[in-house]
Every structure is written in structure tokens, then in C-alpha cells.
Amino acid sequence: MDLPDAEALCEELARKLRAGVTESTGLVGIRTGGAWLAERLHRELKLSTPMGALDISFYRDDFDAAGLHHQVKPSQIPFDVNGRHIVVIDDVLYTGRTVRAAMNELFDYGRPGKIELAALVDRGERQLPIAAQYVGATLSVPAGRLLRLARDERGKFFLRLSDAKPAA
């Protein structure tokens, strides 16, 4: 399967976001790929509000089965979320469960005025009623495969397909 150029998708996502964000919009990336993407978009969009990052490990609905991820880092939101327009950034939107967990974590910081979602790739197959307002591309991914954002030693983005782990 040929995968699209992640750098081009990032540029497309930045173009779409320019029309919907303001100086006070808060970008919050979901670790890991979404945080990488949020860093890049924050620079591209030249937003004055500092960027935030969420680690959703404790909010996952499969926490009992999957256990604690070995690289848990605390969430960091260096701005007041109350009443603010926030765009949650994810690399690949799939079932919607990661985004649900991110919103749970975000509400621990306050009550945003508005939350929108941006994803580099929407692969469909939602299990929850979650939709992205900003998408770089929509892509069908074969069953049993995971699509992930990766970056090389220079920080250049690329997409990688891997086999999904069997359920525990």
C-alpha cells in the first residue's frame, strides 16, 4: 500500500487550520504523534498561546487490558483552558477512543469554550461519535493494520503501517 507524503499532509492541515484559529487558540497535541504534529503546526501558524501536550494513558478505556505504557509523561497545558478555543491534534483518527480520552484529560484542566479536532489522517472505522473538523487526508487502511506517524533523525514526518497487536 502506498502511503501519502506526511510532510505534504502536514502542510495541507496547516493551510486548513489557518482559516479556523486565532492568536488565542490553544493547540494541544496527543502524545506522541499528535504532540509532534502540534509542535510543527504551532510553529507554522505562529500562534502566541503556548502549545500543550496530553498524555492520555490513565484515561484509556483499555487501561485494564493494556496496562501502563512504559513512556508515560505528564500532560502539560501551559495556558488557562477555561473559555478558550482549543484544537486537539492527533496524528491518526481511527476509533475515536483516543480523542475521547484526550477530552477527559483536557476537562481536568478546566472548561474550554470550544474544542475542535485536527488529524493528519482520518482512517474511518469510528466506534464513537467523534469527527475531526480539520483533516490532512482520509485514507482506507487494511484491517488488522495500524497507521502511525513517525519522524526521522532530522524531524521529517513519514507514515508507517504495522500489524496490529492481537487483543490480550
pLDDT tens digits, one per residue of 113-163: 999 999 999 999 999 999 999 999 999 999 899 999 999 999 999 999 999
* Residues of the domain holding 101: 6-63+80-161
- Tell whether 121 is covered by a domain: yes
- Tell whether 42 is covered by a domain: yes
- Tell whether 134 is covered by a domain: yes
| CATH assignment of the domain containing 11 | 3.40.50.2020
SS3 at position 100: helix
Tell me the whole-structure pTM to 2 decimals.
0.90
- Tell whether 71 is covered by a domain: no
Domain total in the chain: 1
**Cβ–Cβ under 8 Å, residues 57 and 68:** yes
- Tell whether 103 is covered by a domain: yes
Convert the pLDDT of each residue in 79-106 to its tens digit.
999 999 999 999 999 999 999 999 999 9
- Tell whether 110 is covered by a domain: yes
- Tell whether 59 is covered by a domain: yes
